[in-house]
A and B are shown apart, each in its own frame.
Chain A
Amino acid sequence: MSNEQLLALLPFMVLAGASIVVILMIAARLSHTAIQVAGFLMLCFTVLAMGYVRDILPQEILPLFIIDGFAALYTGVIIFSVGVVGLLSYIYFEEREENPKEYYILLFLATLGAAVLTISRHFVSLFLGLEILSVSLYALIAYLRNRNNAIESGLKYLILAALTSAFLLLGMALFYMETGSMEFNAIGQKLAGSDPGVLFKLGLALMVVAIGFKLALVPFHLWAADVYQGAPAPVTAFIATASKVGVFAVLMRFSLAVNLQQSEFLLNVFSGIAIASMILGNILALRQQNIKRLLAYSSIAHLGYLIVAFLPGTREGIEASVFYLFAYAITILSAFGIVTILSTRMKDAEDLSVYRGLFWRKPLLAAVLAVSLFSLAGIPLTAGFFAKFIVLLTGANYNLWLPVIVLVLTSVIGLYYYLRIISTLFASAPAAEPRHKPLHPFFHFVTYATLFVLMVMICVLGVFPGPAIEGIRQFLMIR
């Protein structure tokens, strides 16, 4: 391996180093605050390292990895999400009795798994990245193990994820049988001449099950609501953003390499999945009284919208999907940020009743939540609107009329339940519950500031999306 290749892996090494730093700090019995600060600094170093290696991209590390602009973009979204999740975690775990320190090790390792997915172009690296992500998530979901729900949702995720990774492996084995290779481009070349045979379709079907599970697309979404509800709120935010971004990135890279979208049959399968996700996700969310479950169903629907951008399989599609994921990450992180802040020691703030009259008690939090819900609903002047708009535009350019029409119609259904929450925010207020433990004022400030920045970002991206799109284009040139 040459020096430049090693250097290109620097951001990933820093990320792995972050978890080691946290382990050493735990061994030295440093406080939660110190670990939080060090973790955040390490994430900043990761971003700096990404900037530092930008000039030597793209680098291929044959046969397993490719570090290019595409990977940098998706990794950027992942690191951004984890940074926000980390900041939000402080006050959430500080309130609870359990030792929160190991949480950060697992969080950084899960991030590394998701980041490895974005640079992988080989089944081995895909599988390893996916499993680092899953194994860390098992522990993260069950982290607050004294609540029964946590163990229950952890076990549910464990069994289903292990089962789907067995399916994924069988699919990969069938691909290997057909093509004799595990590298995406080589598979693409082998398949280019021939019409995809039965085995290819069978293997792909098995892989779609696994990827659909990780992205929580209908009909593989059954775990989503339970796991979202049972996991600690910051972990739910991580599952909704970073883990999905990583899996989507590898799906995109694989489909581009094997020209997935060229096949009429597969295009129909993915359109069907997208349409089912959009419809069912929105309909199931309609009657939810639990905000974590509601956001779970809403994220199913949003991943359905994202698949519409995936369908064309072109540069425009990638651009739209990156922008969509970025906007979606900001939006859902700010929504989960509010859930995190309002959670009390014993219970996450998941009932809709907690949010009654929030505006009269905590106007800033209510404003952030309202803006993020507007963005999820796709109201103009928010990031969510513009993201949906360019997805729509990409779909329309490639004559994907049915998914596009379903996207528009289901967005209208979605408006109903988002507006329902917003109306509760302004209802008459019950008395607020006092907090058990006074929080560190600095971190209190930081959390509020983070949420405020997220809200501003939603608005700025909604009004001036131009620079962001331009940046995405420039990164995608690095290939």
Chain B
Amino acid sequence: MPIERYIFLAIALFCIGIAGVLIRRNAIIVFMCIELMLNAVNLLLVAFSKMHHLKATAANATAGIEGQLFVFFIMVVAAAEVSVGLAIIVMMYRNVHSVDINFLNRLKH
């Protein structure tokens, strides 16, 4: 399988995520789009890990393993981030009864 296919797929997912962050104003959906972007990067990393494995497997039997380990750590981090992030969003809902990010303009400029 050529690597370009995975690159294009991952970049497409990443850009859909960015577009979602820009066009939605519901904080929960914005947060979900960020998760989508993280997943696009995960896919990219796994593809690169398998690519480097194929390239260097003769010299090193575990070449490319760091890519997959990194994905594991990204998942760990994403889970942690989501738990705190959703707590903040729930608090915001309790305070202003909305999760619209356009409400976030009370701090004066």
Which chain A residues have a beta carbon within 8 Å of chain B's beta carbons? Answer: 63, 123-124, 127-128, 131, 134-135, 138-139, 142, 145, 148-149, 151-156, 158-159, 162-163, 165-166, 169-170, 172-173, 176-177, 180-182, 225-226, 229-230, 290
User: CB distance A166 to B89 under 8 Å?
Assistant: no
Which chain B residues have a beta carbon within 8 Å of chain A's beta carbons? Answer: 14, 17, 21, 27, 30-31, 34, 37-38, 40-41, 44-45, 48, 51-52, 55-56, 63-64, 66-67, 69-70, 73-74, 77, 80-81, 84-85, 87-89, 91-92, 95-96, 101, 103-104, 106-109
Q: With CB as the reference atom, state the residue of chain A lying closest to B85.
A: A158
CA distance A172 to B48 in the complex (A): 11
Q: Which of B56, B74, B87 contacts A127 (CB 8 A)?
A: B74
Interface of A, secondary structure class, is helix
User: CB distance A166 to B88 under 8 Å?
Assistant: no
Q: Which of B34, B64, B66, B87 contacts A124 (CB 8 A)?
A: B66
Shortest C-beta distance, B35 to chain A (Å), equals 9
Q: Which residues of B contact A176 (CB under 8 A)?
A: 45, 48, 52, 66-67, 70
With contact pairs A155-B92, A166-B34, A166-B41 given, residues A149 and B106 touching in the complex (Cβ less than 8 Å): yes
CA distance A437 to B54 in the complex (A): 68
Shortest C-beta distance, B100 to chain A (Å), equals 11
Interface centre among A131, A155, A181 (most CB of B within 10 A): A155
User: CB distance A170 to B56 under 8 Å?
Assistant: no
User: CB distance A142 to B91 under 8 Å?
Assistant: yes
User: CB distance A169 to B80 under 8 Å?
Assistant: no
User: CB distance B38 to A166 under 8 Å?
Assistant: yes
With contact pairs A169-B41, A176-B67, A177-B48 given, residues A152 and B106 touching in the complex (Cβ less than 8 Å): yes
Q: Report 7 cross-chain contacts, Cβ distance below 8 Å, ordered by A residue.
A: A127-B74, A128-B77, A131-B77, A135-B80, A148-B106, A163-B21, A163-B37
CA distance A172 to B85 in the complex (A): 24
CA distance A48 to B14 in the complex (A): 46
Shortest C-beta distance, B78 to chain A (Å), equals 9
User: CB distance B27 to A155 under 8 Å?
Assistant: yes
Q: Which residues of A contact B14 (CB under 8 A)?
A: 166, 170
With contact pairs A128-B73, A182-B70 given, residues A225 and B30 touching in the complex (Cβ less than 8 Å): no
Shortest C-beta distance, B25 to chain A (Å), equals 11
With contact pairs A149-B106, A162-B31, A230-B107 given, residues A169 and B38 touching in the complex (Cβ less than 8 Å): yes
Q: Which of B41, B77, B80 contacts A173 (CB 8 A)?
A: B41
Q: Which residues of B contact A152 (CB under 8 A)?
A: 92, 103-104, 106-107
User: CB distance B56 to A180 under 8 Å?
Assistant: yes
CA distance A230 to B17 in the complex (A): 28
Q: With CB as the reference atom, state the residue of chain B lying closest to A149.
A: B107
User: CB distance A290 to B81 under 8 Å?
Assistant: no
Q: Which residues of A contact B89 (CB under 8 A)?
A: 155
Known: A134-B81, A154-B88, A165-B77. 7 other contacts (CB 8 A): A135-B81, A148-B95, A151-B91, A159-B30, A173-B48, A177-B51, A226-B107
